[in-house]
Amino acid sequence: MCEIAEGVAASRIGVGSAIGHHGELMQGAFEGSDGHFYRALVTLPMRTLQSHATFELSKGHEIAVYPADRTKALRAAILVMERCAPSGFGGVLRVRSEIPVGHGYGSSSADVIAAIRAVSNALGIDLLPSTTSEIAVAAESASDAIAYEEEAVLFAHRQGRVIEHFGGSLPPFYLTSFKPSDAKPINTDEIGRARYTAEEIQMFRCAAGAVRRAVRNQDPRLLGFAASLSARISQRHLPKSDFESASAIAGQHDACGVQVSHSGSLIGIIVDAGEPGAAAKAAGIAASARNAGFIEAGVFAVNVEEVKGENRF
């Protein structure tokens, strides 16, 4: 249920923002506490990229969105209004995003989450991440865990619920990000569901255990192991060209592992931020990636205390 603020104004503007991500540290099929298997993922949040939304509440029944192509964000706004708004209210949703579309940065999900937050803000309500995620999945059929911000969770992206809370945030690391030279935008709505083998499902169980320990012990090496394992499985379902070249670069620099966007074109190499000269090492990996023909290479700091948020070098 939604607790509506008393005396909702006939004209009121709400704001909301949501972060993007760099794909997933892990994505596959996992057993829940109820014994059922779920398609689930661990999102790699990226605070440098964000979507912003405003919602102007007004009397009436019509809800409009600008730009007009943000149909999923519009659907999310309608769902919040149907669920939480008094009768006789509509409004105008405006979405502004700096997140590239189609490469695995979570642009659509960020628009949807930002829209949900803007509408709920206009109504004077605070929605829990679980409720926000539930509405997001209803709006776009599958969503990411970005409503949980930097909390590490195993998230069932088609049910909109958390399978496991890992009990903290990801360990501190640098991520060297790049794309294959032939990377093209991918429409996630057109990607078929992966059919995992029994062996792959067992590997996902191992990867989930590694993420669990990585968060508990704040160990980027374990995180890199899990990411690499999931990335290799992903190669069978949505292969990245030159993935082996990226893996070789990671090995040459003694990195923690390789991470990919499982429904996009992004590749990342993880470097332990606690290592001496870690930032320089990550920059060296970016240079190696460029020399190998990869494009848009850059470095992000994730949960590194001396660097506020994620900064690109």
Average pLDDT over residues 70-89: 93
Q: What is the pLDDT of residue 181?
A: 85
Position 239 scores a pLDDT of: 82
Residue 307 pLDDT greater than 50, yes or no = no
Give the tens place of pLDDT for each residue, 149-163. Answer: 999 999 999 999 999
Residues 79-84: what's their mean pLDDT?
Answer: 94
User: In the predicted model, what is the mean pLDDT of residues 39-43?
Assistant: 95
The yes-or-no verdict on residue 29 having pLDDT over 90 is yes
State residue 186's pLDDT score. Answer: 58
Say which residue, 241 or 85, is predicted with more confidence.
Answer: 85
pLDDT band at 233 (very low <50, low <70, confident <90, very high): very high
Average pLDDT value for residue range 68-76? 96
Of 237 and 68, the one with more pLDDT:
68
Q: What is the pLDDT of residue 106?
A: 86
pLDDT per residue over 158-210, tens digit each? 999 999 999 999 999 999 999 988 866 555 555 567 789 999 999 999 999 99
Q: Measure CA 233 to chain center.
A: 19
Does residue 308 surpass a pLDDT of 80? no
Q: What is the mean pLDDT of residues 288-293?
A: 97
Q: What share of the chain is helix, strand, coil (3-state, %, to 5)?
A: 35, 30, 35
Segment 82-95, tens digit of pLDDT: 999 888 899 999 99
Q: Which residue has the tokens 């004209």?
A: 11
What's the token pair of residue 277? 């000269």
Residue with tokens 């969503």: 143
Cα–Cα distance between 31 and 87 in angstroms, integer? 41
Task: Assess whether pLDDT exceeds 70 at residue 53.
Answer: yes
pLDDT at 134 over 90: yes
**In the chain, % of residues over pLDDT 70:** 91
266 CB-near residues (< 8 Å, 6+ apart):
22, 23, 103, 104, 105, 177, 178, 179, 260
Domains of the chain: 12-164 (3.30.230.10), 170-302 (3.30.70.890)
Whole-prediction pTM: 0.89
Q: What is residue 277's three-state secondary structure?
A: coil
Mean of per-residue pLDDT scores for the chain: 90
